[in-house]
Amino acid sequence: MQSCNYRTIYDLAATRKGGEENLELLVRQHLPNPNLADVPEDRFLAEFTRKVFQSGFVWRVVDNKWLAFEELFWGFDVDKLLMMPDDMLERKAADPAIIRNLKKVWSIRENALMIREIRDREGSFPQFIADWPEEDIIGLWQFLKKHGSRLGGNIGPYALRFLGKDTFLLSRDVEAFLREREIIEGGLTTKRSLAATQNFFNELQQQSDRSLCELSRLVAFSAGENRVVVTEEKKEAEPA
């Protein structure tokens, strides 16, 4: 197994990105939100929905239609959406102002139900997400996949990143690094691989005291083709 401590990774990434100053500018994007618990729950549902529709699609198209999504689904008000009858949901799914995909539209209400159930049980969905320990962030990924709708694969993690939850991402470049260093073998999202990946990032965090978000970017910038930078043209994989 090749050396993969924080200092080695940082120096390699800095060399590939033209020095530490350039690297730091790239790394400090989408940093964790210290006030995540104060983010309204409708913004969680909105971001889950945006990432579901961006999956397998050109992101720019979804962004261009996003105002229509917000208007059609009442600003993603959880309680209003859960009062909507099936036939109304089906009519909205056929509206040409949005991307017409009934299965993905159906996930809006299913994820609204997940949010309400956690709110009723825990008192606050945003607080529940904010309190989830980053040293077990893969546990939160798996929770969203199990209890939400179409939030598996990279969809849940990307939504969390954009909302401000500290998480690493399993981009192609991060995967390339993990495999080259023999940190993982076999399937990327097997229980064993996810545990090994979480342990690797936990160790880097102890060595550096940096966020998982920053560390994820550093790892990506030290290997592969650096596809970790999210652009409006990027396509996501379908949920696992």
Mean pLDDT by 10 residues, the chain (240 residues): 81 93 90 96 98 92 96 98 96 96 97 98 98 98 98 96 97 94 94 96 96 96 62 36
Give the pTM.
0.89
Q: How far apart are CA 113 and CA 129, in angstroms?
A: 16
- The predicted structure's pLDDT at residue 228: 38
Judgement on whether residues 153 and 70 belong to the same structural domain of the protein:
yes
Flag whether 229 is in a domain: no
Flag whether 89 is in a domain: yes
- The predicted structure's pLDDT at residue 224: 66
Q: Is 166 helix (H, G, I), strand (E, B) or coil?
A: coil
Say which amino acid occupies 158: Y
Flag whether 234 is in a domain: no
Q: Which domain holds residue 196?
A: 6-32+168-221
Q: Which tokens sit at 117? A: 């159930």
Q: How many domains does the chain have?
A: 2
Flag whether 227 is in a domain: no
Judgement on whether residues 119 and 182 belong to the same structural domain of the protein:
no
In this structure, the number of other CB atoms found within 10 A of the CB of residue 14 comes to 19
Judgement on whether residues 140 and 59 belong to the same structural domain of the protein:
yes
Which of 141, 163, 185 is where one domain is finished?
163
Q: How far apart are CA 229 and CA 214, in angstroms?
A: 12
Q: Which tokens sit at 65? A: 């239609």
Flag whether 182 is in a domain: yes
- The predicted structure's pLDDT at residue 237: 37
Judgement on whether residues 145 and 207 belong to the same structural domain of the protein:
no
Which residues partner with 65 through β-bridges? none
Which of 163, 191, 206 is where one domain is finished?
163
Report in angstroms the alpha-carbon separations of 104 from 3, 82, 100, 154: 43, 16, 9, 16
- The predicted structure's pLDDT at residue 4: 81
Flag whether 240 is in a domain: no
Which of 148, 163, 178 is where one domain is finished?
163
Judgement on whether residues 147 and 58 belong to the same structural domain of the protein:
yes
Judgement on whether residues 51 and 145 belong to the same structural domain of the protein:
yes
Flag whether 12 is in a domain: yes
Residues 6+ apart with CB under 8 A from 3: none
Residues 6+ apart with CB under 8 A from 123: none
